[in-house]
Amino acid sequence: MSRPFKVNIIVAALIPGHGIGLKGKLPWSLKNEMKYFRLLTTNTISPTSKNVVIMGRNTWESIPSRFRPLQNRLNIVLTRNANISVENGAAVDDSVLVADSLKNGLDIIEKTGNIEEVFLIGGADLYNQCLASGLVDRIFLTEVKSLNGQIETDVSIKIDPSQWIKQESQVLEKYLQDHGVNGFQLDGNKEGELVYDFTLLERR
């Protein structure tokens, strides 16, 4: 079924195994990568449109309360528990919706209108479910490498290389430019003992 918006995954993953988390948390803290995440998931081409971030309940609860909901984006939390607290850090122009399945979440988005793009932001179960179902159009993948080789992860995102191809950097650069996401070096970023590259994968 064709939808009027693109469905994207945005994720930072350890190379080569695509590990993304440890004990329910991110295994790193990358300040510039978090800024990239914020701008990429927020900025739209149309000034009258808004983006959506979809996440599982555990991902929602892992976000510090002062940052929930993620501002200037429609937040959709997938859970069967409708009693999620959204009071802490809520801003007047932000909203949070709860859906009991990804399909229902996407149906809600279609009925909302003025939605430009949808970003799936975790956790691993949501990523892998969506990849397996063929719902994802693009993957904004931050490839993280450790200079000392000592990062432990216990969950990973399963990206099948037979289904996805890494685009040339110019393709990502144009997307970022069109969306006003400026000032980022795509390759060779370094914070502490980690180096990382911003990449874009699209379906073959």
**Predicted pLDDT at 90:** 42
> Cβ(76)–Cβ(109) under 8 Å?
yes
* pLDDT tens string 140-155: 999 999 998 789 999 9
Give the pLDDT confidence score for residue 93 in this predicted structure.
Answer: 42
Look up residue 16 and give its two tokens. 């080569």
Helix, strand, coil content of the chain in percent (nearest 5): 25, 30, 45
pTM confidence score: 0.92
Span 50-58, mean pLDDT? 95
Domains and CATH numbers, the chain: 6-203 (3.40.430.10)
pLDDT of residue 150: 81
CA dihedral 24→93→113→48, nearest 10 degrees, is -120
- Dump pLDDT digits (tens) for 93-107: 458 888 989 989 999
State the pLDDT at residue 88. 40
> How many helices (DSSP H) and strands (DSSP E) are in the chain?
5, 11
Please compute the mean of the pLDDT values over residues 80-89 and round it to a whole number: 55
Token look-up 């000032």 returns 183
pLDDT at 87 over 60: no
Tell me if residue 144 falls in helix, strand or coil: strand
Average pLDDT over residues 48-58: 95
